[in-house]
């Protein structure tokens, strides 16, 4: 974590005595790379604001001559997603919202509790438990996807029976619920990792003092740990939000048709358009799909980086 | 060690208050009970499922899982496909592409990441503006990245067309529609997406280097190049290692990027083990082969991750 702090806050303390030409080269290179990283986004935005003939007939770097927001409203409300649906991506956007909010909240809460147990109430073998949960972060999802499909299929059938029996399926078989389950399970490793590393540095004396005062397990968590966890909660929420919102493999495997999340709908929109490729609509849809995570990045960039570093560098 | 004594202290406390009652035992076990559901989920859904997939890879499952064991037949078939080059099998293409994509992706992400980090470390004015610009692609999903780069690389309206429009009519760049070159487009998009993150990792490493050592090097008359080459880069070697692990892991898992850049991987030209696994399992009804390829992917990642996790947790031990 401290390393990430350094990236984001520490001022560089070296001032090498570069010559004028060296400095020009350095700034030139940095500017060039900034351009390379920015241009695709700029082209996306400009393309989404042009009528189609300007996209197909013009230069992609040219500013729109006839500024239009029609591609945006097309993408949102009318574009053809898949074979039958011509209601745009709006529904899928909300599918993603409905999936991401509970999945992030549940996995974060469980991660916090796990981290608390693993650091402050550790038991013989806690290292093995943590190591096993840590490895779960790095498995290729391809190696669990078939059994998962089988199990979700079974849950779906149970749901149908329950619905016949009681009139309510208890959410079993619902694609959004399925995705929430999947994301919570495969996010547990990361959220536990984040909180464990954070709580490892949290002064145990405070916890010990509370124990002596007779505070219960949950009281200590709620009154002492949680109020001091804001930074790591933000990091975990951002990390989980970005990961789950951007997921494609699980979404495309476990949620079909109307219930698909945003990434799947975008891929369908872009790849099933027959005849003329409506690039302007595609780009508008892509920007809408990217908006939530980009917004998080703009608002909380500091924590965004920290989350990524914590997820990647720390083992 | 301290954690253990804490727990014992707590136990003693609850004992004293509650006596050896049922509630006391419950309090003792409460932490473990809280952790248990998560651990159980991981045990079943990660370790159990991996074993399940391993089992399926020894069966003759087609569209649905079966329990007919057929030994190593699926692995033998994959092994034979590995060398089937005329015409190349999908598995052969997947492995070659994995090498090409993985190699380029890892090399250029490390190279650009280190270059940008070193450049930014030269007391740059506007670092606060530049850094987020290099990093933002990471916030985008691979599907969005792929969609953007598909437009950018489309010869009819993208870069080729734009340069023709500006008068460079001989410019030719149609990799994204050329089956032989598609995988390079996937690599370009991937590098664009991830190199900023590697930059952030290296920058963190550079900022962590003790300033005294650098001052000493400067006093000894070392040039900036020499300082980095001989002192700074060797010090931040662990960052290389971490970045390499992360990138290798991302490369092996890459799936959505291939689909979005190439437009659903036409003809399997940009096949990777991940797309191979998916198509054999879910569209070609060869679940057993799909499972075997998934097991190979898992083994590859485990071979990278297990020693890494082991060394990291050992370090924390100290």
Binary contact (A313, B242; C-beta < 8 A): yes
Task: Pick the more confident residue, A87 or A17.
Answer: A87
Residue B248 has pLDDT above 70, yes or no: yes
- Listing DSSP states for A181-231 in one string gives HHHHHHHHHHHHHHHHHHHHTS-HHHHHHHHHTT--HHHHIIIIIGGG-HH
A153 Cβ under 8 Å from any chain B Cβ: no
pLDDT at B6: 59
Binary contact (A3, B50; C-beta < 8 A): no
Mean pLDDT of chain A: 87
Give the residue-averaged pLDDT of B223-246. Answer: 88
pLDDT of B85-142, one tens digit each? Answer: 888 999 999 999 999 999 999 999 999 999 999 999 888 888 889 999 999 999 999 9
Window B:83-142, CB contacts with A under 8 Å: 112, 115-116, 119-124, 127, 130-142
CB-nearest partner of A133 from B39, B297, B317: B39
B252 Cβ under 8 Å from any chain A Cβ: yes
A10 Cβ under 8 Å from any chain B Cβ: yes
A90 Cβ under 8 Å from any chain B Cβ: no
Window A:185-204, CB contacts with B under 8 Å: 185-186, 188-189, 192, 200, 204
Total-model pTM: 0.89
Alpha-carbon distance of A297 to B137, in angstroms, equals 10
Extract the tokens encoding A19.
């010559």
CA of A157, closest CA in chain B: separation in Å?
A: 16
pLDDT band at A5 (very low <50, low <70, confident <90, very high): very low
Extract the tokens encoding A203.
């002064």
pLDDT at B117: 94
Give chain B positions within 8 Å (CB) of A303: none
pLDDT at B316: 56
Window B:56-75, CB contacts with A under 8 Å: 56, 65
Q: What angle do CA A255, A258, A260 make, to 5 degrees?
A: 35
Extract the tokens encoding A258.
């109307």
pLDDT band at B272 (very low <50, low <70, confident <90, very high): very high
Give the residue-averaged pLDDT of A185-195. Answer: 93
pLDDT band at B170 (very low <50, low <70, confident <90, very high): confident
Mean pLDDT of chain B: 87
% of chain B residues with pLDDT over 70: 91
CB-nearest partner of A122 from B3, B43, B287: B3
Q: Interhelix angle for B22-42 vs B2-18, to 10°?
A: 140
Alpha-carbon distance of A191 to A110, in angstroms, equals 8
Residue B15 has pLDDT above 70, yes or no: no
Residue B317 has pLDDT above 70, yes or no: no
pLDDT of A250-306, one tens digit each? Answer: 999 998 888 899 999 999 998 875 667 889 999 999 999 999 999 999 998 888 888
Window A:225-284, CB contacts with B under 8 Å: 242, 245-249, 253, 263, 266-267, 270-271, 279, 282-283
Q: How many CB atoms are closer than 10 A to CB A219?
A: 13
pLDDT at A101: 97
pLDDT at A274: 66
* Residues near A74 by beta carbon (within 8 Å), at least 6 away in sequence: A88, A278, A281, A284
Give the residue-averaged pLDDT of B146-171. Answer: 87
Binary contact (A308, B10; C-beta < 8 A): no
Binary contact (B204, A315; C-beta < 8 A): no
Residue A243 has pLDDT above 60, yes or no: yes
Extract the tokens encoding B227.
């300082």
pLDDT of A116-160, one tens digit each? Answer: 999 998 888 888 899 889 888 888 999 999 999 999 999 999 998
According to the 3-state scheme, what is the secondary structure of A64-98? Answer: CCCCCCHHHHHHHHHCCECCCECCCCHHHHHHHHH
pLDDT at B1: 43
pLDDT at A12: 45
Give the residue-averaged pLDDT of B173-178. Answer: 84
Residue in the block written with tokens 């599907």: B143
- Of all helices (H) and strands (E), which one includes residue A46? helix A20-48
């Amino acid at each position: 974590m401290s390393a990430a702090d350094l990236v984001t806050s520490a001022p560089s303390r070296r001032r090498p005595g570069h010559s004028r030409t060296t400095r020009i080269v350095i700034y030139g290179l940095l500017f060039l790379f900034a351009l390379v990283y920015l241009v695709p986004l700029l082209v996306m935005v400009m393309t989404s604001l042009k009528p189609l003939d300007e996209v197909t007939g013009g230069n992609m770097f040219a500013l729109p001559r006839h500024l239009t927001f029609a591609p945006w409203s097309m993408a949102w409300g009318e574009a053809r997603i898949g074979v039958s649906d011509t209601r745009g991506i709006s529904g899928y956007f909300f599918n993603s919202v409905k999936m991401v909010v509970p999945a992030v909240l549940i996995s974060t809460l469980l991660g916090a509790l796990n981290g608390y147990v693993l650091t402050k109430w550790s038991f013989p073998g806690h290292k093995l438990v943590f190591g096993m949960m840590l490895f779960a972060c790095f498995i290729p999802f391809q190696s669990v996807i078939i059994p998962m499909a089988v199990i979700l299929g079974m849950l779906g059938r149970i749901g149908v029976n329950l619905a016949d029996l009681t009139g309510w399926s208890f959410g079993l078989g619902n694609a959004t619920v399925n995705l929430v389950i999947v994301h919570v399970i495969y996010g547990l490793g990361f959220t536990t990792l984040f909180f464990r590393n954070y709580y490892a540095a949290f002064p145990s004396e405070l916890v010990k003092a509370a124990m002596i005062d007779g505070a219960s397990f949950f009281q200590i968590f709620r009154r002492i740990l949680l109020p001091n966890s804001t930074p790591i909660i933000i990091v975990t929420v951002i990390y989980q939000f970005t990961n789950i919102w951007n997921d494609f493999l699980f979404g495309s495997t476990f949620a079909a048709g109307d219930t698909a999340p945003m990434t799947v709908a975008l891929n369908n929109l872009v790849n099933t358009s027959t005849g003329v490729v409506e690039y302007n609509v595609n780009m508008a849809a892509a920007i809408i799909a990217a908006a939530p995570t980009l917004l998080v990045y703009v608002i909380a960039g500091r924590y965004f980086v920290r989350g990524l570093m914590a997820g990647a560098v720390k083992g | 060690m301290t954690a253990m004594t804490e727990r014992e202290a707590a136990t003693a406390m609850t004992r004293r208050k509650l006596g050896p009652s049922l509630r006391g035992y419950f309090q003792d076990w409460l932490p473990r009970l809280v952790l248990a559901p998560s651990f159980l989920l991981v045990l079943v859904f990660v370790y159990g499922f991996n074993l399940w997939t391993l089992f399926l890879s020894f069966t003759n499952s087609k569209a649905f899982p079966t329990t007919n064991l057929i030994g190593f037949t699926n692995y033998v078939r994959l092994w034979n496909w590995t060398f089937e080059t005329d015409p190349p099998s999908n598995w052969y293409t997947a492995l070659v592409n994995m090498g090409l994509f993985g190699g380029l992706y890892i090399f250029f992400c490390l190279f650009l990441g280190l270059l940008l980090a070193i450049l930014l470390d030269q007391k740059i004015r506007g670092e606060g503006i530049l850094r987020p610009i290099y990093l933002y692609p990471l916030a985008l999903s691979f599907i969005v990245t792929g969609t953007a780069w598909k437009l950018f690389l489309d010869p009819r309206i993208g870069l080729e067309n734009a340069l023709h429009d500006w008068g460079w009519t001989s410019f030719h760049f149609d990799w994204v529609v050329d089956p032989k070159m598609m995988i390079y487009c996937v690599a370009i998009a991937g590098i664009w997406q991830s190199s900023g993150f590697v930059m952030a990792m290296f920058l963190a490493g550079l900022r962590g280097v003790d300033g005294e050592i650098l001052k000493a090097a400067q006093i000894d008359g070392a040039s900036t190049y020499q300082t980095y080459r001989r002192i700074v880069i060797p010090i931040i070697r662990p960052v290389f290692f971490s970045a390499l692990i992360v990138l290798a892991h991302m490369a092996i898992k890459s799936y959505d990027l291939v689909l979005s850049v190439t437009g659903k991987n036409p003809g399997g030209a940009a096949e990777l083990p991940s797309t191979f696994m998916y198509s054999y399992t879910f569209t070609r009804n060869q679940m057993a082969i799909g499972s075997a390829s998934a097991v190979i992917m898992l083994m590859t990642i485990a071979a990278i991750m297990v020693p890494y996790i082991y060394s990291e947790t050992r370090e924390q031990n100290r």
